[in-house]
Structure 1
């Protein structure tokens, strides 16, 4: 298993796209916290979305460090764990926001005035719907990323001999004589 393999051409665009969407989620959630009126306390579900955006950005940078220090933070299992945690957090955040806004029309005045999260504002309603969309989109990206890490982990990792069939890997089972080269036959 090569530690650099997980940072191929197909992995970086996905990670950068995840960073962009996580930044959008963080910006939308932070704007909703900033606009919170009344007593000045924002709902915990929106604060949780701020946490999820920050966590996703943090794990992007930890994953990026893995390209430079593969033995420390570039382990495939560690990166898969980051993806799994992001996936779980985003699932929770997406469900929380979808339940909070109950996916009604932002033109319905009765709904706008009765919803605790929207506070009668059509703008907040559209921002919450956009946040819900981007959370679910990022959830899908992390699901794909986790599946990619799973396949990378199983790609070529189970061979007990080197690619030439010559030497034995340490800890690969009982000592077996290597296959003779053609010149030795």
Structure 2
């Protein structure tokens, strides 16, 4: 049966359509169409809550996509926020388990193992344009927040890039080469909008 595409109000979901299972396919389609400019944390979390309400309608492919998108938003806590909504049928899925393992490796700053794991399991993961770049930017953020210098070879391994690409990152970040080391500086983030969105979702949960 065909479904009518739902228009999502700019100021949030109207209550009458929030948990209507007839709208589920439309929400899933919107998530598949998301790109960097149209990424919507509120929509993604809402769909995970709908899967809680209708576990028989869980779409594992869409769940993997939501989680991978959330992971690409590090250092913001979108992934941890999404993870709390997962139910048993999602947690035992091989692809979702891989993404959770990837998140744990990033949290533990085991970046070389992360890239190895990601490469080995890529065939069961959704294709997400810009994911690799987003993770490398996150790693740069972490390096900048915890180190003042890092050996060039170590930094190259953390990012899993060749020397030419490494130099592009160093230049773009405004960092400097000093012998065999990279002199790094903290990278600033403006997360006020992110906090406001998450606060709004939490408030909708407790209504």
Instruction: Report if TM-score (shorter chain) is over 0.5.
Output: no
The structure having more radius of gyration, on CA atoms, is 1
Give the alignment's TM-score, normalised by structure 1. Answer: 0.30
Higher strand share: 2
Of the two structures, which has the highest relative contact order with CA contacts closer than 8 Å and spacing of 6 or more?
Answer: 1
